[in-house]
Structure 1
């Protein structure tokens, strides 16, 4: 993983996300929506997670679900923000989360996941 990828959240679309989840061992994606108050409230925490030493090796990605049909379909009945964990190109977990504590818990499960060799 490049130094640049660790230092910021990568904004992506559906196609770019598909490539990223296969190029990086672990990916943590946040699907947002326009005018989403919870999305805005969780943004500072999400940005801090990128720089946390325990999250080295996880690529953080943000998608606007309003502009990406695959992300929108994945959310279906859910509301933004919607968080998705991937490992080795496979979806591990996805859920609508509304607090930093819930995001931290999902990140901990992603960190603890042992990939297949």
Structure 2
């Protein structure tokens, strides 16, 4: 599945439309965000995560996303299981993103799969 660029409103809608969602909150001037872009794209295309929706939001353009980050910095990742926040953290490595995705895989929705 490709990555969807969205905004605060889209995030609120999409987390209820898909059983598993991972959102990457990024910023234009964030070097680590750029470093993690290729792995995030790679994970989005892997068969293992075909039932996971990948979202990207710019924190500078989305005040709700920025508030969710609180005092943390980009890149900030958030996972949702059936519309509920599951996990959130600032991640700086590909392995960190993969671990968060693997945790999200335990979220099941038999009606959707």
Which range, TM-score by smaller chain?
over 0.9
Q: Which residue of 1 aligns with 2:46?
A: 52
Q: Which residue of 1 aligns with 2:26?
A: 32
Q: Deviations over 1:20-74 (max 9, x none)?
A: 0011111010000121000000000000001111101000000001110000001
Taking a change above 3 Å as real, the CA distance of residues 71 and 55 of structure 1, as seen in their structure-2 partners, is: same
Taking a change above 3 Å as real, the CA distance of residues 116 and 78 of structure 1, as seen in their structure-2 partners, is: farther
Which SS does the other structure have where 1:95 is aligned?
Answer: strand
Of residues 4, 13, 17 in structure 2, which corresponds to 1:23?
A: 17
Which SS does the other structure have where 1:86 is aligned?
Answer: strand
Alignment of 1:1-117 (within 5 A): 6=1, 8-115=2-109
Q: Which runs of 4+ in 1 moved over 3 A?
A: 114-117
Structure 2 gaps of 5+ residues are none
TM norm structure 1: 0.91
Supply the distance in 2 between the matched residues of 1:79 and 1:115 (Cα, whole angstroms): 31
Residues matched between the structures, number: 111
Shift of 1:91: 0.3
